[in-house]
Structure formats: C-alpha cells, structure tokens
Amino acid sequence: MKAAITAVAHNVPPDVYDNVWFESKIDTNDEWIKTRTGITERHFAFEGGVTDILLPAAKSVLEQRGLTPEDIDLIILATITPDRVFPSSAAILQRKLGATNAWGFDLAGACSGFLYALVTGAKMVESGAVKRALILGGDKMSSILNFEDRTTCVLFGDGGGAVLLEATDDDTFGVVDHILRMDGRGEDFLHQKAGGSLRPPTIETVTNREHFVYQEGQAVFKSAVKGMADVSFEIMQRNELTADDVAWLVPHQANLRIIDATADRMGLSRDKVMINIDRFGNTTAGTIPICLSELHINKKVAKGDYVVLSSFGAGYTWGSVLIRWAIDT
Ligand code: ACO
C-alpha cells in the first residue's frame, strides 16, 4: 500500500508588497533583489497567525474530496512560525477546522518542513495507522523578519498550503521514494537567536532585535546549491529515471540561482521546473505545497507524472521526495 496526495490547495494573504516597497525603508533596490534572488513581490499578513493562512487551504482539500473534518485522522503542520510556542498550531488548526477525530503535531524542519511532514505522514498512512492525513506547510515569515536588515527581509513572504494523503492500492502512484538529510552544524549560519529555552525573551533580546531570522547568506547558498542538487540527482538515479521521465522538478523557492543549479544537475530544461519565487518569495515550509497547488490548479500536472520535490533549509535540513501524481486533471 502507498500513500498518495489526493487533494492539494494553498493560500496566501491578500496584501502584496513589491520590491519598491522596501526602497523607502532600507538601502536596497528592485534590481538587486530581482537579479540576486528572482523575487519581484511577496505577500505579508501583519495580522493573524499561521493557522489563519493555512485554514482556507485545509478546508479546500476536504471540499475537493467531498470529506468532512471528522474524516481526518492525523494533522502534521510544518512551520517555524507557529501561532504560539504551545499549544501546537496543529491543535489550533484542528479546533478551527473541527477535525475532532484527528491527533497531530507541529514539525519544525524550516524550509524542508513540508517534505519531512509529507514523508512522516505517508509512512503513517502506509502502515495503516491512519487512513487520512492532512499535511500542511506554511509560515508567517513577516512575524520573524527584521525589516531593518536588508540581507534577510527582502527574501521572505507569508503563505502555505495543504495536501491530503490517502491510501492507494495501486503501488505505482503516490509517495514513491525519499531522501531526507540533516546537518546540525548549519545552525551557526541560519537561526533565530532568542525566544527559545536557550535564550528566553527579555527586554535586552527585544532591544537587540534577536527574535528575527539571522542568516549568513553566502554560506547557506553554497550548502544549499550542493545539498539540493545532490539529493535531487540521487533520487533520479536510484529510481532509474532520466530527465525525460521527470515531468516536474518542484524545488524550494529560496533563490532562483539555487533552483537553476539543481535543474542543471538533473539535466532538466527550465520548462520542467516549477517557479513562483517571483510572486511569493521564500515562504519557508509553504513553498512546495504552494507550487504543487498552482501546478494542479493550472492543470500542468497529470495523473501518472513523476514529480521530484526538493528542498534545503535551516538546520541544515534538506531532501528530495519522488512522487507519482495520483490526481486526475
Ligand atoms: N539590497 C542591496 N544590497 C544588498 C541586499 C539588498 N537587499 N542584501 C545584501 N546586499 C549587499 C550585501 O551587503 C553585499 O554588499 P558588500 O559586497 O558591500 O558587502 C552584497 O549585496 C552582496 O551580498 P551577498 O550576501 O554576497 O549576496 P549573495 O549574492 O550571496 O545573495 C542571498 C544573498 C540572496 C541571501 C544568497 O546568499 C542566498 O540566497 N542564500 C541562500 C538562502 C537560502 O537558501 N536560505 C535557506 C532557506 S531559508 C530558511 O530555512 C528559513
């Protein structure tokens, strides 16, 4: 038995902020942001939490399958910007959705959070432990961005998405294979300095602006290019797939140059690479479900297509997941 994605949806806050918006606040410009990252605009929600972003997507996947909230057995919510430290955002979303039969938890895998959650959920479905798993990935990055730091604030956006995982008897569909990796030495280069148990909030941590994303961009860039390209190539090789066999690469949307390097390593032409970083920026755990949802809505992915998902993020965490698309177009 395999677990297959049977529905997918996404949601982003309505308010759009283009690159020019930053020019009055920090020393930056549209040209730098576009050429270094590929980003043109992003969505921010300065009110509400991550569950407010994800709830419409959760409702939509249920609607697509004609299910009620009570039909969900498990909720895994990947985020690094939960509504609160506790209870989990999975629990908050469960209440808002009315998924009274579901248990669940949050998963903090940063930009790889959705892939970690997808694989974990798939294993739960494949084992027969749960019948239907709701897998969500999303972040309200505006809540941890230092809008005075030009090296980070222009990179991110708010948004997320959801997929429904259900058992399929046809083993050729669904989540086919995965490679997930982690290297904790990455902490030095990408982290949030304060707010956790190591450095609880104080007036000093707030004054020093320690509750925001800290990133050493070049170090992360180098590891991301190698990490994402390696696992994406490896998953093709060990499944004996050539570039012709792969319908889509759905990469984490952190930087267009990292995406290009991954596609080159896989030998994929640009028309097989899902890109929407220009419109959403880096929504951390949200990028991959948003990409999948847009591919589905625009009828660009067909039943039976091989799709390679790939990501790199804080931790470091990275990985690739091979899926065979199971939804009729
Ligand atoms: N506008 C104008 N200039 C800027 C800006 C800006 N917004 N930001 C930085 N610069 C300047 C720098 O200060 C530097 O100036 P200097 O040469 O005078 O010192 C110059 O531009 C070059 O800066 P670099 O950091 O070398 O630029 P780079 O080409 O490396 O691009 C970037 C920076 C976009 C951050 C890139 O390194 C990157 O994408 N890194 C990887 C990001 C990533 O994948 N993160 C993982 C996921 S995120 C997560 O998990 C939460």
- State the pLDDT confidence band at 329, using cuts at 50, 70 and 90: confident
Q: What is the pLDDT of residues 254-267, one digit of tens each?
A: 999 999 999 999 99
3-state secondary structure 14-36: CCEEECHHHHCCCCCCHHHHHHH
**Residues near 272 by Cβ (< 8 Å), separated by ≥ 6?**
243, 246, 247, 248, 249, 263
**Looking at residue 46, what is its pLDDT?**
86
Q: What is the pLDDT of residues 20-74, one digit of tens each?
A: 999 999 999 999 999 999 999 999 998 999 999 999 999 999 999 999 999 999 9
Question: In the predicted model, is pLDDT for residue 1 greater than 90?
Answer: no
The number of distinct structural domains making up the chain is 2
- State the pLDDT confidence band at 14, using cuts at 50, 70 and 90: very high
pTM of the shown model: 0.97
CA of 313 to the centre of ligand 1 (A): 15
Q: Are residues 14 and 143 in the same domain?
A: yes
> What does the alpha-carbon distance between residue 136 and residue 118 come to, in Å, rounded to a whole number?
8
Pocket of ligand 1 (CB under 6 A): 28, 32-33, 36-37, 110-111, 150-151, 154-155, 190, 217-218, 220-221, 224, 254-255, 258, 282, 284, 312-314
CA of 149 to the centre of ligand 1 (A): 11
Find the largest Cα–Cα distance for the chain.
Answer: 57
Letter string b/e over residues 259-289, b meaning 16 or more CB atoms within 10 A of that residue's CB: bbbbbebbebeeebbbbbbebbbbbbbbbbb
Q: Are residues 159 and 195 in the same domain?
A: no
Mutate to test the pocket of ligand 1, among 141, 144, 221, 260 (most ligand atoms within 8 A of CB): 221
> What does the alpha-carbon distance between residue 134 and residue 181 come to, in Å, rounded to a whole number?
23
**Looking at residue 172, what is its pLDDT?**
87
113-126 and 287-297 helices, crossing angle to 10°: 70
* Burial grade of 210 (CB within 10 A; 0-12, 13-18, 19 or more): middle
Q: Are residues 64 and 34 in the same domain?
A: yes
- Given 146, 171, 196, the domain boundary residue is 171
pLDDT > 90 fraction of the chain, expressed in percent and rounded: 97
**Residue showing tokens 């190539």:** 233
Q: Are residues 121 and 182 in the same domain?
A: no
Q: What is the pLDDT of residues 38-51, one digit of tens each?
A: 999 999 998 999 99
